[in-house]
Amino acid sequence: MEYCQTTAQCKDSRCSPGMKAYCFHPKIGRSYCECHRKQMETKATSSTNIVNCQINSDCRGKGPLKSNGDFKQDPKVLETEVKEDVDNEQGQGKGQGGDWTSSIFLFLLWGALIYYVFNLSPNQTPSRDMYFLEKLLNLKGDDGFRMNQVLVSLWYIMGLWPLVYSMMMLPTARSSKSNVPVWPFLVSSFFGGAYALLPYFVFWTPPPPPVDETELNKWPLNFLESKLTAGVSLFAAVGLIVYAALASGADWKEFFQYFRESKFIHATCLDFTLLSAFAPFCVYNDMTARKWYDKGSWLLPVSLVPVLGPALYLVLRPSLSDLPASQGPRSSEQE
């Protein structure tokens, strides 16, 4: 993909005969060159930039189409987008030198965590750990044993975290410069939690690639962008936190004893801590990709509250499909 700031930077030679290269600006991600029929001609006016779409399919839903097929965009918006593109390019150039250091740090952190869990964490009750796991997975029937209320809440919260992370990271935490997809790590996190998700950040190279309206209407983005999904996640998070908070003092004392003895519970608590610590970063990344930082920055300290903070952000954030259309070809006349 060829990135650009203005249409003048796009080369028509890359297009098929009868086609012209334009610079498109998606709702998230860097601007890129795309070929369209030459019927798409740009006219500049003092108040509005009008792109005449002789054939409506040329516009491909990249903006509000009027009955006469015109696509209109305020030049002030275009000027802002150019400034953002330049700032992104400069920021990426400054940050390239530190990319490898952060990747090495994250890799060493992940390696240290894996080593600790398998070799240094307490492991005094392996048979009891297996029994607890079978009970939590409903593989054992009712044998009269009452599971610890705090442990049950933690177990289901760990099942909710991967969904919350999927909603925060797709599509805004995808990599535009790397061939490493994010979805295998998100799927693995349903089984391995932060231990499976953390390696992705070693390979992550922002900014995210462009996303068009068609992709937003397909699975899984239509599900992950849904306010219904976000609302259910927040409701579940509140219920699980309240369920744990209502546990008796004896349950909490027993849970801390489990933490000191059980590898399974010890590793799960560490996993919960890691996911809680990385969540504000994912909230910030998603918020800036949606260009909502000015209005939503107050949610950053709220996201420090485990599960509840990120889930509340997902309910309040603007949907990508509701953002103002920022796509549109730029021509040499606009420069």
Q: Which pTM does this prediction carry?
A: 0.71
| DSSP-derived pairing of the beta strands 70-73 and 49-52 | antiparallel
CA distance 187 to 277: 20
Given a cut of 50, is residue 220 above it in pLDDT? yes
Q: What share of the chain is helix, strand, coil (3-state, %, to 5)?
A: 60, 10, 35
Query: What pLDDT does residue 19 have?
Result: 75
pLDDT, one tens digit per residue, over 260-306 is 999 999 999 999 999 999 999 999 999 999 989 999 999 999 999 99
Instruction: Quote the tokens at residue 174.
Output: 């995808």
Q: Show Cβ contacts of residue 21 under 8 Å, excluding neighbours closer than 6 positions.
A: 7, 10, 11, 12, 14, 15, 33, 34, 35
Query: What pLDDT does residue 30 have?
Result: 62
Residue found by looking up tokens 């420090």 in the block: 304
Instruction: Quote the tokens at residue 11.
Output: 């080369």
pLDDT band at 207 (very low <50, low <70, confident <90, very high): confident
pLDDT, one tens digit per residue, over 129-181 is 999 999 999 998 888 899 999 999 999 999 999 999 999 999 989 987 778 89
CA distance 137 to 128: 14
pLDDT, one tens digit per residue, over 12-68 is 777 877 777 777 766 566 677 777 776 444 433 333 333 334 333 344 444 433 333
Query: What pLDDT does residue 53 have?
Result: 41
| Mean pLDDT of the 110-115 span | 97
Instruction: Quote the tokens at residue 110.
Output: 């992940």
CA distance 1 to 199: 26
CA distance 309 to 307: 6
In angstroms, what is the C-alpha Rg of the chain? 24
pLDDT, one tens digit per residue, over 245-262 is 999 999 999 999 999 999
- Provide the H-helix boundaries in 147-226: 149-169, 183-192, 194-203, 213-216, 221-224
Contact 161, 193 (CB under 8 A): yes
Query: What pLDDT does residue 296 have?
Result: 92
Instruction: Quote the tokens at residue 278.
Output: 């990385």
